[in-house]
Structures are given as C-alpha cells and as structure tokens.
Structure 1
Amino acid sequence: MLDHGWSFTIHCSSCRLGLVADHQKIVRKKGRDWSPWGKSAPCPAIGCLGRMRLRAYAPAPNEFIDI
C-alpha cells in the first residue's frame, strides 16, 4: 500500500477524533512488515476511553477502506 501511494488516517470510535497518520513514523517504529489489519490503539484524547483505528485511502479520489 505504501509503495502505491496510499495515505492513512486514524479515527476514534467513541469521540470521533480523526488524525492524519504518519506512515513513515509507523514504518520506523513497527517495521515495514507490520500489518494494521484488525489492530487498534487507545485514543489520545483526554478522558476518552475509545479506540483508534486506521483508515487507508487509495490514490484515486473517494476510495478508502477501514482497516
């Protein structure tokens, strides 16, 4: 996905916080073979107990998938 120009955002299921994900930082920290499918992370918003999930956007307009 990275080689084909996809971009990524993260969204909280509770408070609806949305952030742009830095895929370069993720690759440096987790390695290029890491897969986000089925994984989540705690929401960074103060007082929110929700979980953040990645959303991947294809280079084509209006194409995305929740991962």
Structure 2
Amino acid sequence: MRQRGWVVMARCQACQLDLRIDLDLVVRLNGPDLVLFGKSCRCRRMGCSERMIFMGTPPGQQTGLFWTLLEQAPRTLEAGVLA
C-alpha cells in the first residue's frame, strides 16, 4: 500500500475523530506484513472508549475521498503486504 501511494486514515464513528495514518511508521513498528483491511484500533481521543476503523484512498483517486478498508483487500494488492 505504501509503495503504491495509498493515503490511509482512521475514523472513530462515535466521536468523529479523524487521524491520518503514517504508513512508514506503521511498517516500522509492525512490520511490512500487517494488513489494515478489516482491522480497527482504539480511539485516541481522551475519554472516548470506542474503536476506530481504517479508511483509505487508492492511488490515482481524488485526494480527500476515503473508503472503508473492508475485510477483503482489492485484487491489485498482494495479500498481507503494506510495504
């Protein structure tokens, strides 16, 4: 995803917090085999105990439009590779 130019963010559906995800940092901390499709993480806003979903903009698409990263990765990606 990173090498192909995806833009990734996380959104809390409870408090509407949006965070841009640094894929370089994610790869450095978790390794290149981490898959964000179908995953969630805890909300980073103080006092919010909900989960954030990952959303992405594929390469070549209009910047600022994000789609939920569903459980199945698009066929254009090798399964399980962020790098």
TM-score band by shorter chain is 0.7 to 0.9
> Which piece of structure 1 moves more, 41-50 or 57-66?
57-66
Instruction: Tell me the TM-score normalised to structure 1 length.
Output: 0.86
> Which piece of structure 1 moves more, 57-66 or 37-46?
57-66
Conserved 8 A contact 2:56-2:66? yes
Higher helix residue share: 1
| Equivalent pairs, count | 67
Instruction: Please give the residue correspondences for 1:14-29 in structure 2 after superposition, counting only pairs within 5 Å.
Output: 14-29=14-29
Question: Per-residue deviation at 1:39?
Answer: 1.4
In the other structure, the counterpart of 2:67 is 65
Instruction: Tell me the TM-score normalised to structure 2 length.
Output: 0.71
Higher strand residue share: 1
1:4-24 Cα distance to aligned partner (Å, 9 max, x none): 111111100110100111111
**Runs of at least 5 residues in structure 2 that lack an aligned partner in the other structure:** 70-83
TM-align CA RMSD:
1.5
Q: Percent identity?
A: 33
**Runs of at least 5 residues in structure 1 that lack an aligned partner in the other structure:** none
